[in-house]
Copies of this chain bind each other. A is one copy, B any other.
Amino acid sequence: MAFVILNHELVEAEKATISVQDRGFRFGDGVFETIRVQAGVPYQFDWHMKRLEAGLKAIYIAFDATLLKIDCKTLLKRNDVKDCLLRIQVTRGIGSRGYLPQLSSSPTVVIETAPLPPFTGAPVSLLLSRYEKISPKAYPTQFKLCQGLNSTLARMEASEQNCFEALLLNSERQICETSSGNIFWLKDGTLYTPALDCGVLEGSIRSAVLRFSPYPVREVRTDLDNLMQAEAVYICNAAWKILAVEKLQPAKVQWQSNPLASTLNKLLDQDIASYIQTYGGFWKSA
């Protein structure tokens, strides 16, 4: 029986419910994080907490995050999972039918565990989405807001076309990200990735790759032509780690398989191992 933590209480997952009046349900009015857990340790936990808190601040949800760490530890122990995804969602809570929140609303917080998808290392295909990425001028897109329809529609479209993922451009037709991950490409010994001001959600694995890449990394604003001339392309998120991309539809571009994907994943595994070494004490203690 899996449990979740709902407002700091352990609850059986099937019995964990929130009010239909919660603004998370009414409007997607909240923020979430998805954290990779290995050997019982949530990788880059403090980084995720910092992004969560910055996201909540950006949408004016006042939330005290001090209990989250102990809540996460309680849940991982109760569900007895060592390798999983940890999903934390904070919404504005109950209050108001219309858009203007009541000042009295009190945040709802849900923590869940989910299985890690199997890592095959096989290259994947991307579909160039007909949906445009939401502009950072519309709301703070750099955070994982519970506004998932753009990503959902793009991902469904990709799946329908037998592609693993969708590539989204921003309103200036610049490369932005996939529906659930960041993108990198290799050319002439440099690793490129869209700059944050393209409207990119700064993912945890993206930030890690920037730290340990064996090639210089350049954050750029560029268009599809540039990507099509790349030697190799990669996508990443906390669930996938780093995946090689073999083709982009319907552009009919095929990229060579390149040993960099496995090199990057080895460096990521080392980084995770080192993180566990440094920060594992808290998570492994009774």
Contact = CB atoms under 8 A, between A and B. Distances in A.
Contact of A97 (B22, B85, B101, B179): B85
Which of the four size classes fits the interface of chain A?
A: 35 or more
A101 B171 contact: no
A262 interface: no
A177 to B, nearest CB: 12
Contact of A156 (B20, B22, B100, B131): B100
Contact of A132 (B6, B135, B239): B135
Contacts of A34: 97
Contact of A87 (B18, B32, B97, B151): B97
Lowest 4 CB-CB distances: which A-B pairs, in order? A28-B28, A27-B148, A17-B17, A132-B137
Interface string A5-43: 010000001101111111111111100101000000000
B100 A152 contact: yes
> Which secondary structure characterizes the binding site on chain A?
mixed
Interface stretch (A139-147, A187-195, A204-212): A139-147
A150 interface: yes
Contact of A99 (B13, B85, B87, B151): B151
A71 interface: no
Given A4-B20, A20-B16, A25-B22, A138 B134 contact: yes
Given A6-B20, A132-B138, A99 B27 contact: no
